Structure 1
Amino acid sequence: MPNEALGMIETRGLTAAIEAADAMVKAADVVLVGTEKIGSGLVTVFIRGDVAAVKAATEVGAQVAQGLGEVVAVHVIPRPHAEIEDILPRFNKKPDDNTSAQVNPKQDVK
């Protein structure tokens, strides 16, 4: 996705982030790249598209999210450097082998 703008909305609360993501992809020709749960209830949603579409989408997404929770930050990077791709979360990334959770069945203790 070279030469595409990167848009970010950070909210306090998952519901507000989901609503923002939904509003953004409906409002403009943008692609939802991924989300990042930062902790303390903070969630960031990332989108890509041309600069005008990303600006319009983030404005709409922020308005919708503000009605449900707290919008912490909204930002658009018009032409992010190619190396930024390496740190963006993706929906289709496979989890690392070390991070996969394994549930052990409960054992009876006698």
Structure 2
Amino acid sequence: MPMAVGVIETLGFPAVLAAADAMVKAGAVTVVYYGLAESGRMLVAVRGHTAEVQRAVEAGIEAGKQVHGGKVITHYIVPNPPENIETILPIHFTQKSEPFRIM
């Protein structure tokens, strides 16, 4: 079954931490990437079935907005990304994320 990818970009670490926490609690998703975008902007990416990713991203957005001083800058969901995108961008399952993969 195809898996979607959902990404949230926030301003500051506390907001991305809150978003990531809410995302994995709200839907059957796995965090596949976390990193610094630029100028204090952080991002987190999750993978899972499309409905689960949608639910997780919605929860992550709300959690990120609740953090004092935090801000959700942008978000995006890609249902069933093509293989060339998965190969190039850091949205694939890795050795670190594989043990937490939800099928």
Q: Normalising to structure 1: TM-score of the pair?
A: 0.77
Amino acid at match of 2:89: I
The structural deviation recorded for 1:91 is 7.6
The structural deviation recorded for 1:51 is 0.4
Percent sequence identity is 36
Q: Distance in 2 between matches of 1:38 and 1:51?
A: 24
* Segments of 4+ moved more than 2 angstroms: 89-92
| Superposition map of 1:13-32 within 5 A | 13-32=12-31
| Superposition map of 1:53-64 within 5 A | 53-64=52-63
From 80, 84, 90, the equivalent of 1:88 is: 90
Deviations 1:57-102 (A, max 9, x none): 000000000111110011100111112222116684xxxxxxxxxx
- Secondary structure class of the residue paired with 1:88: coil
The structural deviation recorded for 1:24 is 0.4
Kept after mapping to 2: 8 A contact 1:33/1:91: no
- Stretches of structure 2 that go unaligned for 5 or more consecutive residues are 97-103
The structural deviation recorded for 1:32 is 0.6
- Secondary structure class of the residue paired with 1:59: helix
Match of 1:47 in 2: 46
Q: Distance in 1 between matches of 2:95 and 2:9?
A: 17
Instruction: State the number of aligned residues.
Output: 92
Amino acid at match of 1:71: V
Match of 2:101 in 1: none
CA RMSD of aligned residues (A): 1.8
Q: Distance in 2 between matches of 1:39 and 1:8?
A: 15
Range with greater deviation from structure 2 (78-87 or 26-35): 78-87
Q: Against the structure 1 CA distance between its residues 59 and 67, is the aligned structure 2 distance closer, same or farther, given a 3 Å change threshold? A: same
